[in-house]
Amino acid sequence: MNYQWYPGHMTKARRAMQEDIKLIDLIIELVDARIPQSSRNPDIDELGRNKARLVLLNKSDLADPACNRAWTAWFQEKGIKALEINAQTGQGLKAIQGAVQEVCKEKIERDRRRGILNRPVRAMVAGIPNVGKSTFINSFAGKACTKTGNKPGVTKGKQWIRLNKGLELLDTPGILWPKFEDQSVGMKLAFIGSMNDEIIIMDELAIDLIAYLQEWYPSLLQERYSLAGGETPVQVLEAAAEKRKCYKKGGEPDLSRAAQLVTDDFRSGRLGRISLERPGTGNV
């Protein structure tokens, strides 16, 4: 199956980020903790190379805890602070303010030497569509946030949200998304539901997902669908159909319905905490 995903105009988005990045001190980059590499903004390292960086591993409650720790350490080795969060529940958000102060320490000290006191850190939140950017902003800001209006020299329409005395967010539309040459990136985005299921052949997607799970998380499959082990992906779908009573007329297992159920079980976390990427191992 060929995976393609173009939910917008790449050139326009990149130009917007180039303009906006001049206004900020910090880039807060949201990635999906299950696929931290494939869900990253492709140009963020180049465009943000002179800015402080903070990566938030969102939906970390759905990812393998050991992989979360490995990715946090991997980003740290790259000189990028990373935190595990769940934007929907608010888990991990309390640590962000301290992390902002840590990664922006040089900027804060430079301001102090210049006699600029109590100037808030200005941050941009970056992330591909469906990674949870809006949920994060709403959850992190809460009801106490206030829009401070257009600042001098800022393009009309851009708004600053003051979260507290020490931090402001630049409220802009979604900034970047991946245009991928590597089909495995598209496959992983499809696994987690970041691509429109209507353009996906769900039976094939589920087969690919099951093959990965059989390699890395066989016990989770066996427990969920009462498997003995050693089944082919199609046999796993048949077992899932049997378990969930998915039958066609005549009593045959409905593999298409079973494919959707298996995929939904993974996406929702009902299968367990699963990561699709590990530092240094390449793609699934």
Spell out a b/e string for 127-156, using b for 16 or more CB atoms within 10 Å of the CB, else e. bbbbbbbeebbebbbeeebeeeeeeeebee
Distance (Å, whole) CA 38 – CA 224: 27
Q: Has 134 been labeled as part of a binding site?
A: yes
Q: Has 236 been labeled as part of a binding site?
A: no
Distance (Å, whole) CA 121 – CA 281: 36
Structure tokens at 127: 């992330």
Task: Determine which helix (DSSP H) or strand (DSSP E) holds 28, and give its type and residue range.
Answer: strand 26-32
Q: What is the DSSP string of 219-266?
A: HHHHHHHT--S---HHHHHHHHHHHTT-B-TTS-B-HHHHHHHHHHHH
Structure tokens at 232: 């082919």
- List beta partners, residue 124: 27, 170
Q: Has 61 been labeled as part of a binding site?
A: yes
Q: Has 132 been labeled as part of a binding site?
A: yes
Distance (Å, whole) CA 164 – CA 141: 9
Question: Residue 61's closest CA among 284, 274, 276?
Answer: 274
Structure tokens at 112: 């102090």
Q: Has 130 been labeled as part of a binding site?
A: yes
- List beta partners, residue 160: 170
Distance (Å, whole) CA 90 – CA 84: 11
Q: Has 121 been labeled as part of a binding site?
A: no
Query: In the sheet that 167-171 helps form, which strands lie side by side, from edge to edge?
Result: 81-84, 52-58, 26-32, 121-126, 167-171, 159-164, 146-147
Q: Has 135 been labeled as part of a binding site?
A: yes
Cβ atoms of residues 20 and 175 within 8 Å: yes
Q: Has 105 been labeled as part of a binding site?
A: no
Q: Has 64 been labeled as part of a binding site?
A: no
Q: Has 59 been labeled as part of a binding site?
A: yes
Q: Has 115 been labeled as part of a binding site?
A: no
Residue 113: how many CA atoms within 13 Å on its side-chain side?
6
Q: Which residues are known binding-site members for GTP?
A: 58-61, 130-135, 174
Q: Which residues are known binding-site members?
A: 58-61, 130-135, 174
